[in-house]
Structure 1
Amino acid sequence: MFTGIINAFHSIKNILQTNNSQISRICLKIYDFQEKVQQTQHHSPKERLRIAIEQLGNKTIEISLAVINDLEQIAQNHPQYHWTIMDILTTFVRENAPFIPQEKVTSNLSTKIRVDIQAALTVIARRDVNKDPENEQLDLSHTDMRGANLNQANLKQTNLYQANLAGANLTEANLAGAILSAANLEGTNLYLANLEGAILSAANLSGANLSGANLHCASLYLARLNEVVINDTKLGGANLREAKFSD
């Protein structure tokens, strides 16, 4: 029992920035869930996946964290379900962190993302991209991911249309070819991020840190770039037509 709890503790600690006592309580919940899953280990991975999907609809955040942890294990051990699980997790984020119209947002930057949403994003961000099928695209469009930690995330060619990523940490993230049209990246940390060929048309990058970022051939048409930090930013071939550098 304690080995399972310890493994869960380290896994969740890498995802969440919270105190150890809270993580321990979450891990005990995870262990309880995994004990139930353990009873179905003789079943097919498909059956385990079905059980996980049913439990993901549970309103308890601890159960959601347990299920997300188990889904990642299934994806790692059974590659045939890798993309199905990524689709499940992106759907989970879209349904539980939907885009909020700007007039209803009280503060863009001072927000704390829900822990199970962060956990799902962390699993998506660190997935084995070699298992991604060709011509498929992650869909995180129309989502509210303000303040998310996506450090070194692999979101290449991801659909992030009208996503709110204000104040998010996207340091060294791979966003090459990503669709970020109308996205809110106000105050986002994009230090050393790869945005080569990304579509940022009409995106709000006000106050964003683009130091060292690669924006080669990116589209910044009509993008808001006031007070953006562009030290050593690579802008060769970028489309800056009608970009706004001041209010």
Structure 2
Amino acid sequence: MTKTTDPKPNWWVVAGLAVLALAGGTCALWRLPWLLDDHWLKHMDTSQARATTVSGLRTALVALGAGLVAVVGLFYTHQTWQQTRSRDSDQRQLTWEGQVTDRFSKAVEQIASDKPVEQLGGIYALERIMRDSAKDHATIVEVLAAFVREHAPAQYEPRTHGLLSPARQRWQAAAVRVALMLGGHPQPYVHLRPTEPVQAALRVLGRRPQDRDEPFELNLGVTNLGWANLVGAYLQEADLALTHLEGAFLIKADLEGAYLGRAHLEGAHLIQTVLKGADLKGAYLEGALLVEADLTGAHLEKAHLKGAQLAGAELQGADLREAQDLTVEQLVSARPAPSTKLPAHLAEDPRVMARIAAVMEEEQ
């Protein structure tokens, strides 16, 4: 922060003016009565009249001079007060920024710990700093996103060191769902779920202030966030490419403009989720719940939609021309529009055409 110095008055000049004012005032007190009332004073015989005139005029001049001095004093008092207040404000700002820096350093040390409790403390401390200091918002978002990428990377096959195949991921996600349905513990697949610190970081990122400037996209790509709780999360234009979100709870989340290319969303809960303009090319949406989701203008080229539920989903302008396993039943349950881009055999289906007409009639 650049500290500005307030201009200081030239006290020598002020002192000189004060001396001149004093001399002039003395002269005026002595001579002004005669200059103003010389005619009357010379022709009046009563000494009492002379004394009264001189005394009254001098009293008025003294009062006027005192008033002028008071005004000058108030002016310089105000100037001094402003300078003092400015210096105090600058000092408070420097002190506050120093405190924020100390808090930030301590929070980063906590999340770097290998103890989950300390990591949680650091994550929530960063959230507090982010809300208190708009200037540090972008940095904290970057730190928390990096924490998620480091602690929840996409899973790798131990033999091939490659990403788990879609078939393997779908099988594991299905196993978890079955275990939960039966009321059991999803072992040995519980490791698919985020740890508490990772879930906390996601929670903080999902509810971060939305009126701040972020000169970058939130990068959570190639991470393992299966079964994460992202209900109502703010993830506009986030990078979630190749991210594993099997079974994730994205109900009412804001994913407008997000990049979800080849993301794994098998069995994900996308109910009333905003996916306007989202890039879902090649995404795996088998069994996903897209009920009443807003897919306006979304790109679903080569997306896998087998078993996906699209009831009430808005499809205006959505590109489904190369979507895999898309059925008439899915489209009839959704809300397609004339602008929805469909494969030829589905666009010409009488039931689909009738559904489009019904949707248009409802909106009129």
On whether the aligned pair clears a TM of 0.5, the verdict is yes
The answer to whether the 8 A contact 1:210-1:229 is kept is yes
Aligned to 2:172: 107
The answer to whether the 8 A contact 2:110-2:121 is kept is no
- 1:78 Cα deviation after fit: 1.2
Separation of aligned partners in 2, 1:222 and 1:83: 34
Tell whether 2:221 aligns with 1:172: no
The answer to whether the 8 A contact 1:217-1:238 is kept is yes
Aligned to 1:125: 206
- Within a 5 Å distance, the mapping from 1:39-54 to structure 2 comes to 43-54=98-109
The answer to whether the 8 A contact 1:153-1:170 is kept is yes
Unaligned runs of 5+ in 1: 1-39
- 1:170 Cα deviation after fit: 0.3
Aligned to 1:184: 264
Separation of aligned partners in 2, 1:237 and 1:145: 29
- 1:44 Cα deviation after fit: 2.6
Indicate which of 231, 240, 243 corresponds to 1:163: 243
Q: Deviations over 1:178-230 (max 9, x none)?
A: 00001000000000000000000000000000010000110000000000001
The answer to whether the 8 A contact 1:210-1:233 is kept is yes
Counterpart residue identity of residue 119, structure 1: A
- Within a 5 Å distance, the mapping from 1:95-244 to structure 2 comes to 95-100=150-155, 101-103=163-165, 107-108=172-173, 110=176, 111=190, 112-133=193-214, 135-244=215-324
The answer to whether the 8 A contact 2:107-2:121 is kept is no
Q: Stretches of 4+ moved more than 3 A in 1? A: 40-43, 103-106
Q: 1:83 to 1:146 in 2, by over 3 A?
A: same
What TM-score do the two structures reach when normalised by structure 2?
A: 0.54
Separation of aligned partners in 2, 1:242 and 1:71: 43
Counterpart residue identity of residue 304, structure 2: R
Q: Deviations over 1:48-105 (max 9, x none)?
A: 2122112211001111001011111111111111111111000000011001122475
Q: 1:171 to 1:42 in 2, by over 3 A?
A: closer
Separation of aligned partners in 1, 2:97 and 2:270: 45
Separation of aligned partners in 1, 2:138 and 2:245: 24
Q: Deviations over 1:164-187 (max 9, x none)?
A: 000000000000000000100000
Q: Deviations over 1:84-135 (max 9, x none)?
A: 11110000000110011224757225243211100000000001011133x4
Quote the sequence identity (%).
Answer: 35
Q: Deviations over 1:143-181 (max 9, x none)?
A: 000000000001000000110000000000000000000
Tell whether 2:91 aligns with 1:91: no
Instruction: Flag the structure with higher helix content.
Output: 2
Separation of aligned partners in 2, 1:211 and 1:42: 47
The answer to whether the 8 A contact 2:106-2:122 is kept is no
Q: Secondary structure of 2:211's match?
A: helix
State the Cα RMSD in Å. Answer: 2.0
Q: Which has the larger radius of gyration?
A: 2
Separation of aligned partners in 1, 2:319 and 2:240: 19
Separation of aligned partners in 1, 2:198 and 2:211: 24
Counterpart residue identity of residue 94, structure 1: R
Greater RCO (CA < 8 Å, at least 6 residues apart): 1
What TM-score do the two structures reach when normalised by structure 1?
A: 0.79
The answer to whether the 8 A contact 1:140-1:163 is kept is yes
Count of residues in correspondence between the two structures: 207
Separation of aligned partners in 1, 2:213 and 2:227: 26
